[in-house]
Amino acid sequence: MHTVVVGTSGVTASDVLAVARGGARVELSEEAVAALAAAREIVDALAAKPDPVYGVSTGFGALATRHISPELRAQLQRNIVRSHAAGMGPAVEREVVRALMFLRLKTVCSGHTGVRPEVAQTMADLLNAGITPVVHEYGSLGCSGDLAPLSHCALALMGEGDAEGPDGVVRPAAELLAAHGIQPVELREKEGLALLNGTDGMLGMLVMALADLERLYRSADVTAALSLEGLLGTDKVLAPELHAIRPHPGQAASAANMLAVLKGSGLTGHHQDDAPRVQDAYSVRCAPQVAGAGRDTMTHARLVADRELASAVDNPVVLPDGRVESNGNFHGAPVAYVLDFLAIAAADLGSIAERRTDRLLDKNRSHGLPPFLADDAGVDSGLMIAQYTQAALVSELKRLAVPASADSIPSSAMQEDHVSMGWSAARKLRTAVDNLTRVIAIELYAATRAVELREGLTPAPASQAVIDAVREAGVQGPGPDRFLAPDLAAADAFVRDGRLLAAVEKVTGPLQ
């Protein structure tokens, strides 16, 4: 099994994906263990002094003015975890919780938190045992980070609350820890606070969304190319010299992908039909511009994610010179903004895909295709309601594009009077990515049928490879009406698990 070693300088996106989705083992580097021990010595020294230090010998948030005596400090750390584990609603996905735990461990190992090495090792032990604390949908305002979600994870480290075992069964965390020989932690000064203060949930969801969107944007280039063929459009608008004079990198990459898919097509450029065209509609002609803008948005989001992956997000932090200083680095604004940007881009990519699908189904705009791509229009409804489903998904994407990060709400007796709502932005982006996959799958379904209905014209080799593969996957071709939902589900799975790209890239080579 793949092993990810956590050091003091952060982790990579591929590390997050390996642990969250691939179940990779986690180990602490010798450097991280040494840094943990050194920072802990500083915290212990401060705890022994009479002067109050936030997070070490005081209360938290609006209660930070109270000095806590030494005999109550262990109770203080337990209490902050218990009281902050106040989430409600459905349990979030296992991969999200694993990313959350791993990224908190990343910050702990930086040596800036003052957490003891044995606490960090227990965090790694839970991940390696496949124990996943139950974290609920609601409870985070994204400042101070993802408090409630992280608290539910810290609660499991203490042997409290519920968790899901490697078998998928939810049991008391104490039972699961005992079954795997893991000793619950007894938190000391600052440790409870250090386990809760971070942008780890929103960051983990950003990393996973970027991985999914990278696949979906390439998939959308493929389905756009298939739709162009089905509509007998021209590929001249994809010429690299046209995109070079408006040098957005994402646009050029998208156009190049469409050209690669269309290479050798016998369906492009047929404008001399019953309804002559000088130009294709925007949804066809401007596909690279829209998809390219989304790709460039992803590039910016990756930059933010990489910076956050290299960060130590806690408050207070232990500095190399021995100071323990309060800060605002837990504020989720940088991550929240790009989560919202990506939801906007996803909505627009879905919107343009739906417009191409609708054009394929409309006999007045499809340039010779049967109404709704039906076998016997009137007796058969064809893909009429598949487009309804796609339209409903696109409308939902537009609602999900409303930014969460613009909606701050004060908390903690106005001490935390401006929050990021980054967790909420991440949760709605996950839904948007899920829906976008379905939208692209429906375009794929319609476009492949349209290409097959162009009798006497030969599609591009890459397009034919997609058609062959999707038919082998159980998505049926043209014919009389049938129960559509299973076909749509099979198309969704075909896009979601990467078989669409695999089929294309056997012909084209890797797409950009």
> Catalytic amino acids?
54
Angle between helical axes of 499-508 and 461-472 (0-180°, round to 10) = 150
| 449/441 Cα distance (integer angstroms) | 12
Q: What are phi and psi of 481, to 5 degrees?
A: -55, 145
Backbone angles phi, psi at 13, to 5 degrees: -60, -40
Beta partners for 200? none
Q: Kindly give the residue spans of alpha helices, DSSP state H, lying in 130-199.
A: 147-157, 173-179, 191-194
- Smallest CA-to-CA distance from 40 within 283, 243, 324 is with 324
Q: Which two tokens stand for residue 435?
A: 């829906």
Q: Are 294 and 341 within 8 A, CB to CB? A: no
- The token duo for 217 is 């944007």
What does 287-335 look like in DSSP terms, one character per residue?
Answer: HHHHHHHHHHHHHHHHHHHHHHHT----SSEE-TTS-EE---TT--HHH
CA 133, 86, 56, 416 dihedral sign is positive
Q: What DSSP string runs through 431-458?
A: HHHHHHHHHHHHHHHHHHHHHHHSTT-P
Give residue for tokens 């016998």: 266
Q: Structure tokens of 284?
A: 């066809």
**Rounded CA Rg of the chain:** 26
Contact 184, 159 (CB under 8 A): yes
Rounded to 5°, the CA angle 73-143-88 comes to 85
User: Phi and psi at residue 475, in whole multiples of 5°?
Assistant: -90, 110
